[in-house]
Amino acid sequence: MSGEPLLSVDGVYSSYGKSTVLRDVSLSVDRGEVVSLLGRNGAGKTTTLRTIAGVMKPSRGTITFDGEDVTDVPDYQISRRGISYVAEERSIFPDLTVEENLKMGLVTREPGIMTIPEVYELLPRLEERRSLPASNLSGGEQQMLVIARALLNPTKLLLLDEPTEGLAPMIVERIMEIIEHISDLGVPILLVEQNVEVPIRTADRCYILDKGEVVYEGTIAELEADEAIQQEHLGLGMALE
C-alpha cells in the first residue's frame, strides 16, 4: 500500500483501573485491506478495538485516523468520523423492529456505504423479518443486523469483534461472505476473531497479541507457513494447513 495508513496505533497503553491491559501496542490498517487481531483469550484484542473506537482512552500513545489525531476524541465523534465498531455484545434494540433498528443505527445524514434496499438485497433474511421485533432474531441474524447498521453509515473503517462467535457453521460461512463483500466495496476492516478460519480466508495481514503486547506481525500467508508461531501464541500447530 502507498501513502499513509488509514489507521495508525502508536505505542498505546490502555488500562482498566490500575490494571494495564495494553502495553506499547502499535499497528496499522491501510486503505482497502483487512487486518486481523489474533491471540488467546485475554490477550487484549477487544481492548484494542475499544480503545480505537474511543470507548476507552489510552493512558499513553497516539491513535491517528485518516490523517487526524483522534486519541482523545469522544467515541460518538469517532463514529461520526467514520469508524464503525461492531462489538461482541451484538447491541440491538430488542423491542424495535428490524427496520427500526436499521434506522436507529444511523449516526450521520451523509449517504452510507449502502442503502436499506441494498442491505436487504445483500441480506434477504433481514428483509423477510423487517417488521419483526429484533428480539425474535437468531444470534446469526442479530449479527447480520448490527453489521448492516454499519453499512448504512459512511463507514471508512469497520471494527469487527468476534463476528462469528457462537454461530452455526452455515451462518459462519454467511458472515465470511459478508466480510468479503464489505472488503470488495473497498471498506477496510480490523477483525478480531477466535475462529482462525475466518481471517485465513478474509484477511490480508495479521497481528498477534499476547498479554497486551504485539508479538507478531505478518501476512496471512506468512502466518500459515510459521507453525512455531501458531503453536506458541495460538495453540494451533498444523491447524492452518
pLDDT digit string, tens, across residues 72-118: 999 999 999 999 999 887 788 999 999 999 988 776 678 889 999 99
Residue 41 included in any domain? yes
How many C-beta neighbours within 10 Å does residue 97 have?
16
Extract the C-alpha cell encoding 2. Answer: 502507498
Q: Is residue 181 part of a domain?
A: yes
- Determine the 3-state secondary structure of 240 from DSSP: helix
Does 101 fall in a domain? no
CATH code for the domain in which residue 208 is found: 3.40.50.300
> Is 69 part of a structural domain of the chain?
yes
Residue 170 near residue 60 (C-beta atoms within 8 A) = no
Instruction: Tell me if 128 is assigned to some domain.
Output: no
Q: What is the pLDDT of residues 123-158, one digit of tens each?
A: 999 999 999 999 999 999 999 999 999 999 999 999
- Phi and psi at 136, nearest 5°, equal -80, -10
Angle value at C-alpha 92, between 81 and 94, nearest 5 degrees: 150
Q: Which of 128, 131, 126, 133 is nearest to 96 (CA)?
A: 133
Number of compact structural domains in the chain: 1
Let me know if residue 55 belongs to a domain: yes
Residue 107, in any domain of the structure: no
Residue numbers of the domain that contains 51: 7-90+154-240
Instruction: Name the pTM for this structure.
Output: 0.92
